[in-house]
Amino acid sequence: MNFKVLKPYPSWGHYPPTRAQSAYVLEPPVTLPNTDSSMLPRGLGRSYGDSCLNESGVLLDTKELYHFFDFSEGVLEVESGVSLEEILNFAVPRGYFLPVTPGTKFVTVGGAIANDVHGKNHHVAGNFGNHVLELTLLRSNGELVTCSPSQNTELFQATIGGLGLTGLIVSAKVRLKKINSSYIDQEVIKYKNLGEFFELSSETGHEYTVAWIDCFASQNNLGKGLFIRGNHSTQKLALDVHPNNKKTIPLNFPSWSLNYLSVKAFNTLYYNQQLKKQSSGVVGYDPFFYPLDKINHWNRIYGKPGFFQYQCVVPKAQSHEQMQKILKLISKSGIGSFLVVLKMFGDYKKQGLLSFPEEGATLAMDFPNQGEKVLGLMTALDELVLECGGKVYPAKDARLSKQSFHQMYPEFERFKAFIDPNFSSNYLRRML
């Protein structure tokens, strides 16, 4: 079968550089193309690295798999190409919300499962996969397999966080969360250092917590930032879907526009936007969970060379000490970004074999692609992460070494048995 090269299918970080790829648009009732080349499901392309690329094979574009099948008693059954945005549009007016949501609503259900995504409520709700009751998987031999925690359990566990490699997720049943308000009672606390972050994180009573940190702060102020926490509002009881007034970044920014000075200036302004130690207010779910969704193609601010996203987790016991080392190294390097996020993951049993979250502290940040310098920094960070038994998140990775990957994910050996023989990705080929 010949496939048309329709358009470049880039990864979100534009690294590795974008090349045109072959693609096949799936439509219900779904059948896989008859091909000798390898296949990889593709949703909205928000994976930062190369886990959403399959350069020697075919991408299975799921944009036409947007159908809803059923909704009853809080359980939603949809095709895998349905976006989280679409679920919110549907569920919020009915008094339901996503059980777990990442920092963008522009991902598909299939992608959320294949990366077992997490959000600001990990400490109380775990990952997206923890709320998937059942999924239908189409294997390349034509077999349609129903998987759930009790049926084809191992294949289910391999598929949750399985990076799309175990077959095509055709549809899934997801348990939504009941809400009385789509607004969030939010508190923003300005804190001075890492110690204060860990103290704030140990307080209970908030469903959603996250911290923005200034990665250039050093010494006594290392890790300073804004601690943001919230619960579904009890003050404003309304089930509103937020209007969509998006701004678009039309072109790639020139690559010099983000530099040490501009980012440092941004960080200082952002930290000091709030003068008081603590502020509180009621905000909609959109600004609370998805501040970046307001800006279409925000990734273009990194220009043509693209950027790396680095997300790691370090185990709870060593999290303070190790995070200190990590932040010191980043601060010293002078390479940094204005979006650095720190959060404590909770002790929540994950479903997936390759799921990323572990109990401990997780740090996520962007690095502009400045070549060797930044690659070297990330390799040094890998060592600090490995040293304490931590991990790097595959959904965001484009450069982790094979050796480090295998050390971080010893379960990969078991996972291999469940990979569909005709499925592959750039990421998989890098790690095999």
Partner 1 sequence: MKICCFGANSAIAKHIVYEYADSSPEVILVGRDQQKLDVEAQHLKARYSCKTQVFSCDFTNTEKTIEVCKTLKDIDVFIIAHGYLGSQDEAQNNHSELQKIIDVNYTSYAHLLEEVGRIVDMQQFGKTIVIGSVAGDRGRQSNYIYGSSKGAIELYVQGIQHRFAHNPKIHFLLAKPGFVDTPMTKDFPKGPLWAKPKAVAKLMVQGLNKNKRVVYTPKFWFLIMTLIKWCPFFVFKKTKL
State in angstroms the smallest separation of the CB of 148 from partner 1: 20
**Per CB under 8 A, 251 contacts partner 1:** no
**Per CB under 8 A, 133 contacts partner 1:** no
State in angstroms the smallest separation of the CB of 67 from partner 1: 4
Question: Which residues, numbered 87-106, are part of the site for partner 1 (CB under 8 A)?
Answer: 90
Which CB atom, from 70 or from 347, has the smaller least distance to partner 1?
70
Nearest of 312, 319, 324, 310 to residue 222 by alpha carbon: 324
Give the separation between CA 117 and CA 65, rounded to whole angstroms: 20
**Per CB under 8 A, 281 contacts partner 1:** no
Cis ω on the peptide bond leading into residue 254 (within 30° of 0)? no
State in angstroms the smallest separation of the CB of 2 from partner 1: 10
Single out the residue of 16, 18, 35, 71 in contact with partner 1 (rule: CB under 8 A): 71
Single out the residue of 8, 17, 19, 64 in contact with partner 1 (rule: CB under 8 A): 64
State in angstroms the smallest separation of the CB of 4 from partner 1: 5
**Per CB under 8 A, 406 contacts partner 1:** no
Question: Which residues, numbered 17-36, are part of the site for partner 1 (CB under 8 A)?
Answer: 25, 27-29
* β-strands 247-248, 295-296 pairing: parallel
State in angstroms the smallest separation of the CB of 112 from partner 1: 18
Which CB atom, from 67 or from 277, has the smaller least distance to partner 1?
67
Contact predicate 231/283, CB 8 Å: no
- Stretch of residues binding partner 1 (CB under 8 A), selected from 61-69, 267-275, 337-345, 402-410: 61-69
Nearest of 70, 422, 91 to residue 239 by alpha carbon: 91
Single out the residue of 6, 145, 295, 375 in contact with partner 1 (rule: CB under 8 A): 6
CA dihedral 359, 365, 370, 374 (to 10 degrees): -30
Which CB atom, from 80 or from 331, has the smaller least distance to partner 1?
80
Which CB atom, from 65 or from 217, has the smaller least distance to partner 1?
65
Contact predicate 63/81, CB 8 Å: yes
Nearest of 386, 316, 311 to residue 344 by alpha carbon: 316
Single out the residue of 1, 19, 31, 70 in contact with partner 1 (rule: CB under 8 A): 70
**Per CB under 8 A, 67 contacts partner 1:** yes
Give the separation between CA 159 and CA 119, rounded to whole angstroms: 19
136 three-class SS:
strand
**Per CB under 8 A, 8 contacts partner 1:** no
Which CB atom, from 66 or from 348, has the smaller least distance to partner 1?
66
**Per CB under 8 A, 348 contacts partner 1:** no
What's the Cα-to-Cα distance from 87 to each of 35, 49, 371, 378, 426, rounded to whole Å?
A: 33, 25, 39, 36, 30
Contact predicate 193/222, CB 8 Å: yes
DSSP state of 120: T
Which CB atom, from 64 or from 347, has the smaller least distance to partner 1?
64
**Per CB under 8 A, 347 contacts partner 1:** no
149 contact partners, CB below 8 Å, separation of at least 6: 133, 156, 351
What's the Cα-to-Cα distance from 265 to each of 227, 259, 260, 271, 311, rounded to whole Å?
A: 20, 10, 8, 10, 23
**Per CB under 8 A, 260 contacts partner 1:** no
# residues near partner 1 by CB under 8 A: 17
Give the separation between CA 35 and CA 60, rounded to whole angstroms: 12
**Per CB under 8 A, 1 contacts partner 1:** no
Give the separation between CA 290 and CA 48, rounded to whole angstroms: 17
**Per CB under 8 A, 239 contacts partner 1:** no
Which CB atom, from 34 or from 150, has the smaller least distance to partner 1?
34
Which CB atom, from 4 or from 276, has the smaller least distance to partner 1?
4
Give the separation between CA 6 and CA 32, rounded to whole angstroms: 18
Single out the residue of 33, 35, 45, 68 in contact with partner 1 (rule: CB under 8 A): 68
Which CB atom, from 26 or from 100, has the smaller least distance to partner 1?
26
Which CB atom, from 80 or from 157, has the smaller least distance to partner 1?
80
368 CB neighbour count, 10 Å cutoff: 22
State in angstroms the smallest separation of the CB of 5 from partner 1: 8
Which CB atom, from 58 or from 378, has the smaller least distance to partner 1?
58
Contact predicate 190/226, CB 8 Å: yes
Give the separation between CA 397 and CA 152, rounded to whole angstroms: 29
State in angstroms the smallest separation of the CB of 70 from partner 1: 5
- Catalog residues that contact partner 1 under the rule CB under 8 A: 4-7, 25, 27-29, 64, 66-71, 77, 90
